[in-house]
């Protein structure tokens, strides 16, 4: 089928019948306008042509919007953009009646002001950016539209979808601030295509096209810096190609202003362009600026990265070197690179460090290993090197060291370690406390105290029913009622909870405290269970963290009593969430599986790999299968069903509690585990 000519005004018709144009012939033109992405463009066009709706996932700056805008422009398809956010209500998506016209002439179809969904259903693409920021009740409006191809609007009637109608959603799956979990009902109705970062050469071409910069070396440096941010060990998510484009544009303007210090121009341009675009790991102690300076210094030491601000383009120094080549301004051979300005050397060791019996080349990593295997050696060193001890105990390494050596520290050093560990935990917790999004159900109210926005349709109905009343007496407001949910963190402090484990427990509790602010509790348990912070009790997160760090590892693991005490605190709440942190199976108390089912969500964070389940567990599992045949596969056989649940019993708790189960072994893994709990 031949494509329509652009000047005829005809539009491509995905999945159209005989005589209707197709999207597929436009593949070549769309591909020619975008750098690379041939496979992704082909798959998107094929999905749309097949009559399917689509979700595109990828980090920022991976051409999601560019591809879709190009497709709609080339194919002459109407394009309706919606930004997903918590304030997006169903009426903003669907539309509403014009109040003035309805009051003057009653309800008529022509007085309905169509929203982007309604307009797209008449023939176009509805593009929802940041889809995972959209409230669930608004997202659910899409289900009928994409499944049935029809929506019903009160007083307006049915809107049937044109064959051209498609819904395309885009989201960054790595973002966890202000986002929410997309329901399986919606995912099941969408096809999925993932876009990742492009190659270095492809990103150079993008920067050249977007900035018009003829200076190849400047473009190369900017793109290399961006690429390095994506693999740096202290950066959770690096900069997109937009960072390189911004860096090049700013560097060119600085050069126009007369600046000639190559490294100074590059540093200033990079910090302005990228310091807000990189997402640091929560556990890093350094600033974005310091890490970026380090990356740029490394890039400029590479042999093909000499930039001359007075040059016309790429002038690579055959001898290698950075912005000034391998020699300094004086012509003398350059010595070892100096640490970035404003940053302390992270690998330096305190004076007297070499007296400790370990390999100095491994630095803090070897110190932490010694603390696990021979803590008395670390204590001996601390006693003879007080200044070094104070410095070490006020570094990020304290979170792991503290649990291993706290019982051997003298009161002064113990107080220093606990104080700094608490401060560090609160700082880390504050960086992950805002993950997820706090939404609630929409409700209507006639009081301004509940005002989020005016419900136009409900207000019109009141006005028409009460024509003699004043306008302000008939206003109906839409607002969101916060979800009545509570969370209880249940922390194991049995005998095996030593070392980094207790620090991870304190970090989790502090993050939950800062996230929920008030409706949360903390339970500590070993052979028995006790409340550290009740739901109706106020306690500073720092005090909670300090109290957890002071818990003595002792006794057995009575998970039943912990769950029972935790669920008992949440009476009266609509949604009851539990987060259990433990390093092993239950070894005391009753079977906790029955209590786990009483939570709406029970998440389990395992603090080490589980032990192999003992053979006697077969008998427990068999009884369990008999008691829960409703959840097992019919006709699957006892052995098959047993294999499905023949694993860690704490993992069974998460399954019974409809929650997530996650293993964490390092403090750096805790934020991701908490993210999974808070966005479930």
pLDDT in tens, 508-547: 888 888 888 888 999 999 999 999 999 988 888 889 998 9
Compute the distance between CA of residue 444 and CA of residue 458 in angstroms, rounded to an integer: 9
Top-confidence range, 8-12, 59-63, 360-364, 399-403:
59-63
Give the lowest-confidence range in 80-94, 412-426, 604-618: 604-618
Looking at residue 354, what is its pLDDT? 46
Query: Residue 254: CB partners within 8 Å, gap ≥ 6?
Result: 265, 268, 269
- % of the chain at pLDDT higher than 70: 78
Looking at residue 176, what is its pLDDT? 53
Question: Residues 546-558: pLDDT tens digits?
Answer: 899 889 899 999 9
Report the chain's mean pLDDT, rounded to a whole number: 80
Q: Is the pLDDT of residue 631 over 70?
A: no
Average pLDDT over residues 622-651: 50
In the three-class reduction of DSSP (H, G, I as helix; E, B as strand; rest coil), residue 235 is classed as: strand
Residue 660, both tokens? 């997530």
pLDDT top residue among 179 and 572: 572
User: What structural domains and CATH numbers belong to the chain?
Assistant: 6-194 (3.40.50.300), 202-300 (1.10.8), 353-432 (no CATH), 440-482 (no CATH), 485-611+648-678 (3.40.50.410)
Average pLDDT over residues 275-292: 86
> Could you tell me the pLDDT band of residue 283, with boundaries at 50, 70 and 90?
low
Please give the angle made by the CA atoms of 449, 452 and 453, to the nearest 5 degrees. 115
> Could you tell me the pLDDT band of residue 298, with boundaries at 50, 70 and 90?
very high
Q: Contact at 8 Å (CB) between 207 and 239?
A: no
Residue 241, both tokens? 């190609």
For the packed helices 500-516 and 398-405, what is the interaxial angle rounded to 10 degrees? Answer: 120
pLDDT top residue among 401 and 505: 505
Residue 80: φ, ψ to 5°: -120, 115
Provide the 8-state DSSP code for 630: G
Q: Is the pLDDT of residue 11 over 60?
A: no
Looking at residue 648, what is its pLDDT? 64
Question: Residues 34-50: pLDDT tens digits?
Answer: 998 999 999 999 999 99
Q: Is the pLDDT of residue 453 over 60?
A: yes
Residue 60, both tokens? 């920022």
Q: Is the pLDDT of residue 643 over 50?
A: no
Q: Is the pLDDT of residue 582 over 70?
A: yes
Looking at residue 233, what is its pLDDT? 86
Compute the distance between CA of residue 599 and CA of residue 677 in angstroms, rounded to an integer: 13
Nearest to 629 by CA among 618, 619, 641: 641
Average pLDDT over residues 145-154: 92
Which CB contacts under 8 angstroms, 24+ apart, belong to 24-32? 24/49, 25/1, 26/71, 26/74, 26/75, 29/74, 30/67, 30/70, 30/71, 30/74, 30/75
Q: Which residue has the tokens 């309706």?
A: 80
Give the lowest-confidence range in 8-12, 125-129, 555-559: 8-12
In this structure, the strands spanning 529-533 and 453-454 are unpaired
In the three-class reduction of DSSP (H, G, I as helix; E, B as strand; rest coil), residue 576 is classed as: strand
Looking at residue 580, what is its pLDDT? 95
Q: Is the pLDDT of residue 125 over 50?
A: yes
Compute the distance between CA of residue 591 and CA of residue 594 in angstroms, rounded to an integer: 7
Looking at residue 2, what is its pLDDT? 35
Q: Contact at 8 Å (CB) between 160 and 205?
A: no
Top-confidence range, 366-380, 407-421, 575-589, 632-646:
575-589
Looking at residue 161, what is its pLDDT? 94
Q: Contact at 8 Å (CB) between 663 and 606?
A: yes
Looking at residue 646, what is its pLDDT? 38
In the three-class reduction of DSSP (H, G, I as helix; E, B as strand; rest coil), residue 482 is classed as: strand
Cα dist. 22→25, 163, 392, 451, 531 in Å?
7, 12, 67, 47, 65
> Could you tell me the pLDDT band of residue 456, with boundaries at 50, 70 and 90?
confident
In this structure, the strands spanning 150-153 and 157-160 are antiparallel
Residue 164: φ, ψ to 5°: -80, -15
Average pLDDT over residues 280-290: 82
Q: Is the pLDDT of residue 136 over 70?
A: yes
- % of the chain at pLDDT higher than 90: 40
In the three-class reduction of DSSP (H, G, I as helix; E, B as strand; rest coil), residue 342 is classed as: coil
Looking at residue 56, what is its pLDDT? 94
Compute the distance between CA of residue 510 and CA of residue 200 in angstroms, rounded to an integer: 40
Residue 428, both tokens? 């880390």
CB atoms within 10 A of CB 412: 11
Strands (E), 565-672: 575-582, 601-606, 661-663
Compute the distance between CA of residue 246 and CA of residue 258 in angstroms, rounded to an integer: 19
Compute the distance between CA of residue 391 and CA of residue 395 in angstroms, rounded to an integer: 7
Average pLDDT over residues 370-375: 77
Q: Is the pLDDT of residue 467 over 90?
A: no
CB atoms within 10 A of CB 177: 14
> Could you tell me the pLDDT band of residue 178, with boundaries at 50, 70 and 90?
low
Looking at residue 671, what is its pLDDT? 82
Q: Contact at 8 Å (CB) between 351 and 388?
A: yes
pLDDT top residue among 222 and 399: 222
106, with CB counted inside 10 A (0-12, 13-18, 19+), is: exposed
Average pLDDT over residues 192-202: 93
What residues pair up with 605 in beta bridges, in sequence order?
581, 662
Compute the distance between CA of residue 249 and CA of residue 523 in angstroms, rounded to an integer: 54
CB atoms within 10 A of CB 341: 10
Residue 152: φ, ψ to 5°: -115, 125
């Amino acid at each position: 089928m031949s494509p329509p000519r652009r000047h005829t005004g005809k539009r491509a018709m995905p999945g159209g019948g005989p005589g209707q144009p197709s999207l597929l012939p436009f593949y070549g033109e769309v591909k020619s306008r975008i750098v690379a992405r041939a496979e992704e463009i082909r798959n998107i066009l094929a999905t749309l042509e097949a009559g399917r709706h689509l979700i595109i996932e990828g980090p920022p700056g991976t051409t999601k919007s560019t591809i879709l805008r190009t497709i709609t422009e080339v194919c002459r398809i109407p394009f309706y953009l919606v930004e997903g956010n918590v304030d997006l209500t169903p009426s903003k998506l669907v539309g509403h009646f014009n109040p003035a016209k309805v009051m003057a002439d009653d309800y008529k179809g022509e007085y309905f002001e169509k929203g982007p969904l309604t307009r797209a259903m008449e023939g176009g693409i509805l593009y929802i950016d940041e889809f995972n920021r959209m409230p669930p009740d608004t997202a659910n409006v899409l289900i009928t539209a994409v499944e049935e191809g029809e929506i019903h609007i009160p007083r307006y009637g049915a809107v049937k979808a044109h064959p051209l109608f498609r819904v395309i959603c885009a989201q960054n799956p790595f973002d966890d601030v202000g986002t929410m979990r997309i329901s399986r009902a919606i995912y099941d109705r969408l096809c999925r295509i993932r876009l990742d970062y492009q190659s270095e050469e492809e990103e150079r071409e993008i920067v050249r096209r977007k900035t018009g910069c003829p200076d190849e070396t400047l473009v190369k440096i900017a793109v290399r810096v961006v690429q390095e941010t994506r693999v740096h060990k202290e950066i959770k998510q690096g900069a997109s190609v937009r960072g390189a484009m911004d860096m090049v544009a700013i560097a060119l303007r600085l050069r126009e202003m007369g600046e000639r210090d190559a490294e100074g121009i590059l540093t200033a341009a990079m910090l302005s362009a990228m310091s807000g675009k990189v997402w640091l790991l929560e556990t890093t102690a350094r600033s974005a600026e310091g890490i970026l300076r380090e990356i740029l210094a490394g890039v400029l030491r590479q042999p093909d990265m000499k930039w001359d601000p007075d040059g016309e383009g790429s002038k690579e120094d055959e001898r290698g070197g950075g912005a000034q080549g391998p020699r300094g301004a004086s012509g003398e051979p350059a010595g070892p690179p100096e640490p970035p300005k404003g940053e302390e050397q992270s690998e330096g060791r305190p004076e007297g460090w070499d007296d400790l019996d370990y390999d100095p080349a491994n630095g803090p990593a070897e110190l932490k290993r010694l603390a696990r295997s021979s803590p008395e050696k670390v204590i001996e060193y601390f006693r003879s090197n007080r200044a070094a001890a104070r410095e070490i105990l006020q570094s990020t390494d304290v979170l792991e060291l503290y649990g291993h050596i706290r019982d051997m520290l003298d009161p002064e050093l113990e107080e220093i370690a606990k104080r700094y560990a608490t401060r560090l935990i609160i700082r880390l917790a504050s960086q992950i406390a805002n993950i997820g999004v706090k939404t609630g159900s929409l409700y209507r109210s006639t009081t301004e105290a509940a005002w989020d926005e005016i419900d136009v349709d409900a207000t019109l109905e009141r006005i028409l029913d009460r024509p003699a009343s004043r306008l302000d007496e008939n206003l109906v407001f839409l607002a969101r009622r916060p979800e009545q949910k509570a969370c209880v963190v249940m922390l194991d402090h049995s005998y095996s909870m030593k070392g980094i484990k207790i620090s991870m427990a304190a970090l989790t509790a502090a993050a939950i405290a800062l996230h929920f602010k008030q409706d949360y509790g903390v339970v500590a348990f070993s052979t028995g269970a006790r409340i550290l912070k009740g739901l109706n009790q106020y306690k500073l997160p720092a005090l909670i963290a300090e109290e957890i760090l002071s818990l003595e590892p002792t006794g057995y693991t009575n998970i039943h009593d912990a769950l029972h005490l935790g669920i008992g605190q949440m009476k009266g709440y609509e949604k009851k969430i539990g987060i259990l942190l433990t390093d092993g199976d239950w070894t005391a108390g009753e079977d906790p599986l029955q209590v786990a089912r009483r939570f709406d969500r029970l998440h389990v964070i395992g603090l080490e790999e589980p032990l192999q389940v003992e053979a006697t567990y077969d008998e427990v599992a068999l009884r369990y299968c008999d008691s829960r045949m409703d959840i097992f596969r019919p006709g699957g056989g006892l052995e098959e069903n047993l294999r499905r649940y023949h694993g860690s019993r704490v993992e069974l708790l998460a399954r019974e509690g409809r929650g997530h189960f996650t293993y964490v072994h390092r403090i750096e893994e805790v934020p991701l585990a908490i993210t999974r709990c808070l966005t479930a």
